Chain A
């Protein structure tokens, strides 16, 4: 199937919704594509469990729905060309659909960064945001003892939500030292809203411990996690738990941007004041450009939407506010910067690439001077599994400074049928057989 729009937005999180709304309100034909069945992205993910109403989501979604933008959910982008078309895979119909556009706005968001430590592959160990998403989609964690470890503002938010969903949050262990966070907190004096949010999250956690300056050294358990060993640099101790949620801040999803030829820097896709990338027809917004939170995402979305619709000047008034949000993001990066101990958690036999079970010792052997990601990948198979380095890539970037630049279409696995002439039908194999007989 082929569709044609003036502007196509990829990603229906806050940034993508804001962008599409602005485009549609400016009178241009716009489509929003997202892999998920519902709008919201990660932070506004739909939930089976009862979560408190989020008024900013409700407002944004209502405005989006009224705007005339067209939503295509269940569409996963697998290929694209900055010159004007995207290919999306629609699992529901097992088919590829093509979207042509004049301008493209990428709002593909971010994912959690994982750092390998002994035991992190045990069942019961989750990404922090991952556990939250799984709970929202029906995982029942009532009564379970949860320890949340890692770094970043997400830890507190996740812990608060897990508690609402009936978990017993035993401990939230933030690796950043208090002094570093304090500096960050002080620099927030100009941004009272953010602090209040942090404080109320803290209050919701009530009797759970929030400890800074400590980190996981090993997840313990045989077959499933039963505890976690933690360290604060001078002392190590064990906390018993049923679930371990870990997240080491976020990394932008830059695969599609890379495939389209957009320049990607250390923090994400490089954009100018109008959110335009190095490829003129492509804009990029939200966490994909740098991790800066939902407020930045909403502003960036609006700015890009107006710019792509040819009304860049109307968005100028928002630039200052957007820049302030982005500098908030940069301060956050500094506040939650990884301490050096985080980069030495992996033991020689710790699995780094989960798809292929490549261990740290294999990778460090391949890490001779002059060698980078490509060499390690070819010699050890790390990053060659179905996730194509989405998990081990950022870890190895943190550990060795390597960049995974080898992005190829399809961006996500597809059935062979999707790439050949005849579509997939369940009784295909038998039809062919009988024809031949």
Chain B
């Protein structure tokens, strides 16, 4: 565990745009971002975008995860201590 912020076994903690967030273990990052009402990215013409297809084909759920940009968050399960940055 890198940055153990989990309060109990069923929950894990991640950092989204600098703020701590608790999510259910097994959640994808996209689901976590939706629960936090946080957009994943800003489109070319400046619109906020969130996950759409939930199955890895639309690429709307891209965000920076643990320093790597443009990751599809609907295909990634949350890990304790994960750091997620969205485009703002």
Question: Which A residues contact B (CB, under 8 angstroms)?
Answer: 35-37, 42, 48, 91, 111-112, 114, 121-127, 129-135, 137-140, 223-224, 253, 351, 354-357, 385-387, 390-391, 412-413, 415, 426
Report the minimum CB–CB distance from B80 to chain A (whole Å): 15
The chain A residue with its CB closest to the CB of B53 is A130
The chain B residue with its CB closest to the CB of A415 is B68
Contact of A134 (CB < 8 Å), options: B26, B34, B47, B62:
B34
Contact of A131 (CB < 8 Å), options: B49, B54, B70, B77:
B54
User: CA separation between A351 and B67, bound complex, in Å?
Assistant: 30
Most buried by A among B50, B54, B67: B54
8 residue pairs from A and B, CB less than 8 Å apart: A111-B53, A127-B52, A133-B54, A138-B35, A224-B37, A357-B43, A391-B58, A426-B67
Total A-B Cβ pairs within 8 A: 110
B83 at the interface (CB under 8 A from A): no
Report the minimum CB–CB distance from A229 to chain B (whole Å): 19
Are A387 and B54 closer than 8 Å at their CB atoms?
Answer: no
Chain B 46-72 against A: per-residue CB contact (8 Å), 1 yes, 0 no?
011111111111111010000110100
Report the minimum CB–CB distance from A125 to chain B (whole Å): 7
Contact of B31 (CB < 8 Å), options: A122, A137, A390:
A137
State which residues 24-41 of B face A: CB under 8 Å. Answer: 24, 26-28, 30-32, 34-35, 37, 39
**Given A35-B75, A138-B35, A139-B35; A390-B57 close (CB under 8 Å):** yes
The chain B residue with its CB closest to the CB of A412 is B56
Complex contacts, B16 vs chain A, CB 8 Å: none
User: CA separation between A124 and B49, bound complex, in Å?
Assistant: 9
Contact of A137 (CB < 8 Å), options: B27, B37, B58, B67:
B27
B23 at the interface (CB under 8 A from A): yes
Task: Count B interface residues, CB 8 Å.
Answer: 38
Question: Which B residues contact A (CB, under 8 angstroms)?
Answer: 23-24, 26-28, 30-32, 34-35, 37, 39, 43-45, 47-60, 62, 67-68, 70, 74-78
Are B26 and A138 closer than 8 Å at their CB atoms?
Answer: yes
Are A111 and B43 closer than 8 Å at their CB atoms?
Answer: no
Are B51 and A130 closer than 8 Å at their CB atoms?
Answer: yes
Are A139 and B56 closer than 8 Å at their CB atoms?
Answer: no
User: CA separation between A278 and B49, bound complex, in Å?
Assistant: 40
Are B53 and A127 closer than 8 Å at their CB atoms?
Answer: yes
Are A134 and B74 closer than 8 Å at their CB atoms?
Answer: yes
User: CA separation between A127 and B77, bound complex, in Å?
Assistant: 20
Are B57 and A139 closer than 8 Å at their CB atoms?
Answer: no
Are B52 and A132 closer than 8 Å at their CB atoms?
Answer: no
Are B31 and A138 closer than 8 Å at their CB atoms?
Answer: yes
Complex contacts, A131 vs chain B, CB 8 Å: 54
Complex contacts, B48 vs chain A, CB 8 Å: 123, 223
User: CA separation between A147 and B75, bound complex, in Å?
Assistant: 25
Report the minimum CB–CB distance from A49 to chain B (whole Å): 10
Contact of A123 (CB < 8 Å), options: B27, B45, B49, B58:
B49
The chain A residue with its CB closest to the CB of B55 is A133
Complex contacts, A123 vs chain B, CB 8 Å: 39, 48-50
The chain A residue with its CB closest to the CB of B67 is A426
The chain B residue with its CB closest to the CB of A123 is B50
Report the minimum CB–CB distance from B25 to chain A (whole Å): 9
Complex contacts, A412 vs chain B, CB 8 Å: 56
Contact of A139 (CB < 8 Å), options: B31, B53, B62:
B31
User: CA separation between A197 and B56, bound complex, in Å?
Assistant: 29
Contact of A387 (CB < 8 Å), options: B31, B51, B59:
B59
Are A354 and B31 closer than 8 Å at their CB atoms?
Answer: no
Contact of A111 (CB < 8 Å), options: B23, B50, B57:
B57
Q: Please name 13 further chain A to chain B contacts, defined as beta carbons within 8 Å, in addition to the given A123-B39, A126-B54, sorted by A numbering.
A: A37-B77, A112-B53, A121-B49, A129-B54, A129-B55, A134-B28, A137-B30, A138-B26, A138-B78, A139-B30, A354-B49, A354-B58, A412-B56
Contact of A138 (CB < 8 Å), options: B28, B45, B57:
B28
The chain B residue with its CB closest to the CB of A126 is B52
Most buried by A among B32, B56, B74: B56
Are B60 and A354 closer than 8 Å at their CB atoms?
Answer: yes
Are B24 and A125 closer than 8 Å at their CB atoms?
Answer: no
Complex contacts, B54 vs chain A, CB 8 Å: 126-127, 129-134, 137
Report the minimum CB–CB distance from A351 to chain B (whole Å): 8
Complex contacts, A387 vs chain B, CB 8 Å: 57-59
User: CA separation between A386 and B43, bound complex, in Å?
Assistant: 13
Contact of B52 (CB < 8 Å), options: A130, A224, A426:
A130
